[in-house]
């Protein structure tokens, strides 16, 4: 069987990325594909891009890769956002910015008779949110083709990143899989009375998919395995002394909790979820 490791959302976290790549090497994986968002948040953005370029056979673009390598109109931007933009842009060189800006939106391949589509966030838009908190019709959108996808077929298996929370869902004889995040893992369902050990979240996540690559035979076996790998968070943070968002970055890495939970709660409300009942 062929085995592919699929990683996403490194976000400048070098310790997490090195730990994942070491784990992949130990497992003797054939290929590594990356779903984007290599940069933003952590201080080691250039180092992470260099490692990804040397390690991955396929790399697609994430929304942060697009945003921080584009010409952004700073007019009327708040000072905090201007500082954030300038700092993130300063963490990569010009060659890297050009490389990230020209990455593809989508990648598709067949494995064991299934059309597998890789995107960063959503087939319609590079930063559109859809996840395990969503209703069936919104999840179904993830399986559909768009002007951004390579083929006009529905995916048999849709694999994506962006939401930083790994999950696997089966609907309509098809699979939706999120790899989780290598460098910025979070869980949006949080409750002080119900939460388990935070170390179930504060790890580096990735996916292994095993099957017969480039085969159209649906009878060939296929499997999906979500992996989590521990890494030295304190070491990563000790090398982030120049990080202008150090406090929020540290909280995310240590607590697995998104820095702006009000944004998450607003998203819950839009989806008809009562945050007080989570």
Domain count, the chain: 1
* CB atoms inside a 10 Å sphere around CB 251: 14
Mean pLDDT of 110-130: 97
Q: What is the pTM of this model?
A: 0.96
Per-residue pLDDT band for 277 (boundaries 50, 70, 90) equals low
Placement of tokens 């180092």 in the chain: 47
157-161, 186-190, 214-218: which has the minimum mean pLDDT? 186-190
Q: What is the CATH number of the domain that holds 34?
A: 3.60.21.10
- CB-CB contact of 191 with 213 (8 Å): no
Per-residue pLDDT band for 7 (boundaries 50, 70, 90) equals very high
**Is 140's pLDDT higher than 90?**
yes
Those residues whose C-beta lies under 8 Å from the C-beta of residue 228, and which sit 6 or more positions away, are: 166, 180, 185, 200, 203, 204, 205
What share of the chain in percent tops pLDDT 90? Answer: 88
Mean pLDDT of 122-131: 96
- CB-CB contact of 46 with 91 (8 Å): yes
Closest by alpha carbon to 116, among 219, 17, 212?
A: 212
**Is 178's pLDDT higher than 90?**
yes
Mean pLDDT of 11-16: 98
- CB-CB contact of 183 with 229 (8 Å): no
- CB-CB contact of 212 with 111 (8 Å): yes
Closest by alpha carbon to 58, among 119, 14, 112?
A: 119
Tell me the per-residue pLDDT of 40-70, one tens digit each, with 9 for 90 and over: 999 999 999 999 999 999 999 999 999 999 9
Range(s) of the domain holding residue 32:
2-277
């Amino acid at each position: 069987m062929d085995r592919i490791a699929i990683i996403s959302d490194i976000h400048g976290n070098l310790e997490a990325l090195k730990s994942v790549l070491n784990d992949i090497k130990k497992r003797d994986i054939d290929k590594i594909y990356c779903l984007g968002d290599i940069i933003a948040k952590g201080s080691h953005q250039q180092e992470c891009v260099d490692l990804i370029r040397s390690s991955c056979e396929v790399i697609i673009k994430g929304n942060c890769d697009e945003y921080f390598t584009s010409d952004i109109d700073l007019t009327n931007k708040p000072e905090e956002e201007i500082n954030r933009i300038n700092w993130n842009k300063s963490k990569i060189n010009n060659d890297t910015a050009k490389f990230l800006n020209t990455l593809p939106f989508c990648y598709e391949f067949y494995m064991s008779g299934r059309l597998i589509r890789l995107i960063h966030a959503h087939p319609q838009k590079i930063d559109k949110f859809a996840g395990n908190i969503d209703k069936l019709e919104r999840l179904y959108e993830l399986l559909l083709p768009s002007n951004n996808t390579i083929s006009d077929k529905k995916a048999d298996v849709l694999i994506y990143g962006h939401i930083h929370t790994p999950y696997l869902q089966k609907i309509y004889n098809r699979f939706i899989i999120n790899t989780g995040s290598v460098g910025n893992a979070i869980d949006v369902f949080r409750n002080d009375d119900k939460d388990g050990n935070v170390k179930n979240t504060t790890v580096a996540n990735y996916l292994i998919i095993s099957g017969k690559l480039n085969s159209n035979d649906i009878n060939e076996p296929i499997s999906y395995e979500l992996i989590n790998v521990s890494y030295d968070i304190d070491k990563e943070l000790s090398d982030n002394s120049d990080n202008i968002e150090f406090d929020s970055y540290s909280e995310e890495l240590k607590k697995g909790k998104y820095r702006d939970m009000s944004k998450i709660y607003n998203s819950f409300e839009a989806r008809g979820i009562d945050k007080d009942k989570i």
